[in-house]
Structures are given as structure tokens and as C-alpha cells.
Amino acid sequence: MSDTNSSKAVYIRPVRPADSPVLNRICLLTGNAGQSAEHLHTFGELIGLVYAEPYAHLPATFGFVMVDPAKGDEVVGYILGAYDTRTYEKHALHEWFPRVRAKYSYPPETNEGATEADKRYINILYNPPRAPQAAVDYSPAHLHIDILPEYQRQGWGRKLIKRAVEYLRDERGLTNLWLGLDPKNEGAKRFYERLGFKELQGAPVGTMGLDFADF
């Protein structure tokens, strides 16, 4: 697809650093198994600081966003990831998390009004986990995908993944990728299985891999 669009149809373009605030918002609005996680957080920005915004800023990352011209070119969905997960983790550890966690105190329970979900994410900011070695052994590339509820089940998930596969295959020379999903999100698991994703043996539950030949 073109990066610009003269019609009123939703289209896909590469992510930009300026997209950061809306990426964060979409992450919150889809952060509860595809639905809004607003009611779970006092500090609603936390989930996006972990799973969305860094991919618009750090090395070894890539991303594409859905844009709706009918809503003033609003970003309504995204696919974000790293083509080199370990390099991404290194930059996130030293450049991203120290900066964004500064407004939150540690340990997490010392933040007034913090919910249990907030505490989990504040802990991640201070103690970022590393991707499972079994997943990285399968592929250096991982991704996250989130689409606002009103744009779900319209084929956009497949289109975003197709765009990511083309990028990783044609520009990075890769043959597969992986992602982690909430094991409670059975609908998402079925969606990924239809696209050719399979559970990765030896990785945590919810870790799924895609061989591009199966897509």
C-alpha cells in the first residue's frame, strides 16, 4: 500500500516517532485481551510505555500503523516489533526504561493510587524481562499488534502482519517471527493459528511462531 492516500479508505504507513502518544493510547484501549484496560489502571500510560512506544524510537525496531482519513488521519491500529530482539532489549534497558520510569517510585506499592496492574508494569519498568531464549532461537524478530475494537474483524490484522512479513523477509532477510499473547485471549490465538502461527515448543505458554512459508 502507498504511504499516502487521497481517498477516505483506511490505509497503512510506516510508524513515526510522532505517533508515540496515540500508540500508547491504543495499547491501553486494547490491553485487556483486545478490549479496553482503562478500568484496570490509574496510570493508564504504563502499558504503552512497555509494549508500544519504545518501538517508535529505538534501534532494531520496525512498525506500521493503520490510518483513518475519515477521522482526520487518526492512527487506529498498529503492528510494532524488533527485527533483532536482543539488540532492542539492550537499547530499551539502557536508553528507554531509565527515562520513562523516573516519574514512578520503586517499589511499585509506594505509588499512591496504583492498581495491581499498575504495580506489575512499574515493576517491568524497573526490572525489564528478557525474551525467552527459545523464542529468540526460533527468530530474532518479534512483534506486537493492536487494533482499536471498532476496526477489528475486518481483515486489518492479516494486512498488518502481511506488511510486517514483507518487511522482515525483503529488507531484513528473515524467514520467521514470533509473538507472545495473553493465554486468556482465545480469539486471538485462533486468529493467529488461521494465519499459520504455531505454539513454540520450549517457550512460555502463549508464545507463537510464524514461518513465512506458512503465511
What value does the mean pLDDT take over residues 180-194? 91
What value does the mean pLDDT take over residues 27-45? 95
The 10s digit of each residue's pLDDT in 70-104 is 999 999 999 999 999 999 999 999 999 999 999 99
pLDDT at 182: 87
pLDDT at 1: 44
pTM of the model: 0.94
Cβ density class 126-136: b for 16+ within 10 Å, e for less = eeeeebbeebb
Task: Kindly report the average pLDDT of the chain as a whole number.
Answer: 95
Cα–Cα distance, 215 to 196 (Å, whole number): 5
Cα–Cα distance, 210 to 187 (Å, whole number): 17
Cα–Cα distance, 206 to 183 (Å, whole number): 5
